[in-house]
Amino acid sequence: QVIKCKAAVLWEANKPFSIEEVEVAPPKEHEVRIKIMATGICRSDDHVITGALVMPFPIILGHEAAGVVESVGQGVTSVKPGDKVIPLFVPQCGECRSCLNTKGNLCSKTDLGTSAGLMPDGTTRFTCKGKAIYHFLGTSTFTEYTVVHESAVAKIDSAAPLEKVCLIGCGFSTGYGAALQTAKVEPGSTCAVFGLGGVGLSVVMGCKAAGASRIIAVDINSDKFAKAKQLGATDCVNPKDFNKPIHEVLMEMTGGGVDYSFEVIGRTDTMTAALASCQYNYGVSVIVGVPPAAQKITFDPMLLFTGRNWKGSVFGGWKSKDAVPKLVADYMKKTFVLDPLITHTLPWTKINEGFDLLRTGK
């Protein structure tokens, strides 16, 4: 059956979301229709609104969520109606080169980088006012019901609180994994984290969990520092307090640079600064923030020639279908906390207010 429900539709760039009645088609073969119970707002959603992440319009955004399976298409075996699930914006098909490689996690079935805005079969499951509406990263969670491919959904513990574990669908896993999986932070090491939003704070938690002895939190908004310290930051630095480049400040603070640095903002200038602030011979710098479209980086290649490692990390390097249920289980065992990452809870019809809070750093 087609489901009629409410969704936040973005008709064009740089406009507010419009709450509309949409039709959600039933799941086709190997697809799953999910009732979304909770969704987070992520800067990557905002990047689509501003054009920094190019996607087709009209579109239903949202990619960090948790819900309950409403129905399944033919051939679906991994979930059944009533299961609690998290949609995966990085799927895990289990067959492509990245899925088959132990070091890989960026499944070729992902819409990240192709920006097609369609299901794997090249069609959409959403219509509104007679128009086809595009999907976002194969998830589209700013709606009461969505349809995802079976490779893009993970069954989780039925006791998990969905309004908390939805963060494991993107922000928490992305930051925590960047430290533990991508950088492989070691006990006793020194780390710098540029950007203290939800993902940056999750990097701080990952560095702490890995046993880093010093975690330097960097942000131009000093209001973020108290929470960063609560979650494990040992030092907090505001670049605005100095009249020299931030990488020089960090070099001096650490006697030659940090072992690991993380850029969790999505700006090219801070990506280069994070690289320059790690130790010149064995430092590792990880790009976690989504880079803006149509921007290039120029940097002195000597920064890399001396031995630094520059890496990227999508979804924290986790193989999504395997890792998400385990991360939820870890949360249930209190291995890590999620509450400090949740600043506001709004009814989803107030989604535009939620984005205003994001943009004002609140």
Active-site entry in 5, 18, 30, 42: 42
Which structure tokens are listed for 49? 């609104």
Active-site entry in 47, 135, 149, 247: 47
Neighbours of 66 (CB within 10 A): 29
344 is catalytic: no
Q: Which residue has the tokens 């001396």?
A: 306
- Cβ-contact 166, 64 below 8 angstroms: yes
Which structure tokens are listed for 235? 């030092």
44 is catalytic: yes
Distance separating alpha carbons of residues 204 and 194, to the nearest angstrom:
10
Active-site entry in 5, 18, 30, 44: 44
User: Phi/psi zone of residue 347: left (φ > 0), alpha (ψ -120 to 50 degrees), beta?
Assistant: beta
Active-site entry in 93, 99, 107, 170: 170
Neighbours of 332 (CB within 10 A): 14
140 is catalytic: no
Distance separating alpha carbons of residues 168 and 325, to the nearest angstrom:
9
Residues ≥6 apart with Cβ < 8 Å to 249: 237, 239, 242
User: Phi/psi zone of residue 51: left (φ > 0), alpha (ψ -120 to 50 degrees), beta?
Assistant: left
Distance separating alpha carbons of residues 198 and 147, to the nearest angstrom:
26
Which structure tokens are listed for 74? 């033919």
The catalytic residue positions are 42, 44, 47, 63, 170
